Amino acid sequence: MSLRINDTAPNFTAKTTHGEIDFHSWIGDSWAILFSHPKDFTPVCTTELGYMAKIEPEFTRRGAKLIGLSIDPVESHGKWVADIEETQGATVTYPMIGDTDLAVAKLYNMLPAEEPGSSDGRTAATNATVRSVFIIGPDKKIKLMLTYPMTTGRNFDEILRVLDSMQLTARHKVATPVNWKHGDDVIIAGSVSDEDAKKLYPEGWAAPKPYLRIVKQPR
């Protein structure tokens, strides 16, 4: 069965570079970013994991944990981090899952169900579909799913932007418009009547159309 937004993120236990974890217990009361890559010691993946290491403090500041995944064993991850640090100038401190039997990849539909259950002899090309991102909330619900092609490195600044939007809209009855960034104006949610909106925003709002009510970002 395919996963959908607001499904409960499937729980699992797995070996990681930080030891064995139970995923839901590891998330705790935090947000979580689960992101997979095709294979260790490959060029695009090296740049991606290095960049995530650089901006990890931004996720921490937002109460979000990072965890990587590939079908390589934990030992391979451990050796690869030296290359990441050397070439990208950042040290990976977040855990990386060694999904050698593809159990988590299949659980999260990162690979087709008919994929073989072993990582033996697999190459980055074999795992072309495994460049996925899941944002999971403290309620263990899936909030976002993205899958990129193998040749295209992800924009992890976009993941931060979306996380900002989701955390803001979880606290306030607003939505964020196209290309919104933290601090930009927002849109009053369609579920809020004008009468209720006047109580929330007594200074009023701009409305080029009745359904498009624009206000300053709530604090």
Instruction: Give the active site residues.
Output: 45
Question: What is the rounded distance in angstroms from the CA atom of residue 10 to the CA atom of residue 125?
Answer: 26
**Do β-strands 96-98 and 64-70 pair in parallel, antiparallel, or remain unpaired?**
parallel
Question: What is the rounded distance in angstroms from the CA atom of residue 195 to the CA atom of residue 137?
Answer: 31
The conformation of residue 113, written as its DSSP 8-state character, comes to: T
- CA nearest neighbour of 52 among 155, 136, 161, 135: 155
Scanning the structure block, which residue is given the tokens 């976009």? Answer: 158
The angle, 0 to 180 degrees and rounded to 10, between the axes of the packed helices 156-171 and 43-61 is 30
Q: Where are the alpha helices (DSSP H) in 32-180?
A: 43-61, 74-88, 103-107, 156-171
- CA nearest neighbour of 80 among 116, 53, 40, 114: 40
Tell me the β-bridge partners of 36: 69
